[in-house]
């Protein structure tokens, strides 16, 4: 005996939209090269910022170090950039326009520490 399609059909599962990607915060501590390092880094920022903005990046904070109060950590410059997601940040790094100016950053810095951070709620 054949079963009617309506007896075996189940209602389709409701589609649950994917959860929004978690924002990524990239903290960078930068030590400039002696000589023109700070100036070259400013040139890099002028070129890179519009590209990063197209990816939804937002500067949360930018700071110059005054003195190390404790520990051995005294970069010249520290910044925190908010990205829509870590994947967005990685896509930015692969952007063909960004890749043409990335060497300016490398010329400007002697050392960098980059951290992927999560906001504390």
Tens of pLDDT, residue by residue over 22-55, are: 999 999 999 999 999 999 999 999 999 999 999 9
Say what the pTM is: 0.80
Q: Please say whether the beta carbons of 85 and 22 come within 8 A.
A: yes
Output the CA torsion 91→94→81→114 (10° steps): 120
Is 11 among the domain residues? no
Number of folded domains that form the chain: 1
Is 6 among the domain residues? no
Question: Which has the closest alpha carbon to 33: 100, 104, 92?
Answer: 104
Residue 89 lies in domain: 21-117
Is 66 among the domain residues? yes
Q: What is the pLDDT of residues 2-21, one digit of tens each?
A: 555 555 556 677 776 666 77
Radius of gyration of the chain (CA): 23
Q: What is the pLDDT of residues 44-86, one digit of tens each?
A: 999 999 999 999 999 999 999 999 999 999 999 999 999 999 9
Answer left, alpha or beta for residue 39, where phi above 0 means left and psi between -120 and 50 means alpha.
Answer: alpha
Is 4 among the domain residues? no
Q: Please say whether the beta carbons of 57 and 82 come within 8 A.
A: yes
CATH code where residue 55 lies: 3.30.70.100
Is 9 among the domain residues? no
As given in the structure block, the two tokens for residue 38 are 């700070």
Question: Which has the closest alpha carbon to 40: 104, 99, 94?
Answer: 104
């Amino acid at each position: 005996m054949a079963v009617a399609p309506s007896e075996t059909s189940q209602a389709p599962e409701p589609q649950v939209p994917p959860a929004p990607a978690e924002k990524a915060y990239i903290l960078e501590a930068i030590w400039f090269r002696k000589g023109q390092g700070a100036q070259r880094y400013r040139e890099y920022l002028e070129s890179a910022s519009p590209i990063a903005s197209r990816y939804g990046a937002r500067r949360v904070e930018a700071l110059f170090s005054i003195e190390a109060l404790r520990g051995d950590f005294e970069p010249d410059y520290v910044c925190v950039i908010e990205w829509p997601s870590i994947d967005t940040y990685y896509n930015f790094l692969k952007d063909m326009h960004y890749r043409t100016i990335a060497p300016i950053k490398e010329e400007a810095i002697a050392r960098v520490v980059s951290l992927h951070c999560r906001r504390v709620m």
